[in-house]
A = this chain, B = another copy of it.
Amino acid sequence: MTAPGPSSAEGLAATFAALGDPRRLAIISRLQDEGALSVSCLSEGADVSRQAISKHLKTLSEARLVSSVKSGRETRYNLEPARLEAANAFLVQVAAKWDQALQRLKLQLE
């Protein structure tokens, strides 16, 4: 499996796709608030099974949005901000070009 780079169109789309699920966003929020957590811990409050959460973590892990460290019989998952920053950079760039377009429009009207 050749993992696509974080800034290519495919890699970027994969990052956004991984972010495109309410449960995964909730997982990210919890990891952001509480630090590294295990699958069982993340599954406690959820309304789906542990395996569902585990699948979501696998998705996030394949998108390089989280990393996992095994510690005894537990596996702790943690945020991995690199891809988040790549996604952020894309959105910032689009917003910047949008502002440029607005500026040009403004100049044309004057």
Contact = CB atoms under 8 A, between A and B. Distances in A.
A46 interface: no
A75 B12 CA distance: 28
Please tell me the size bucket of the interface on A: 35 or more
Contacts of A94: 28-29, 32, 79, 81, 84
Q: Which 8 residue pairs are nearest across A and B when measured between Cβ atoms?
A: A17-B20, A16-B19, A16-B20, A88-B91, A13-B22, A20-B20, A9-B22, A32-B97
Given A79-B94, A87-B91, 13 more contacts: A9-B22, A9-B26, A16-B19, A17-B20, A17-B21, A20-B20, A79-B98, A81-B95, A81-B98, A84-B91, A85-B91, A88-B95, A91-B91
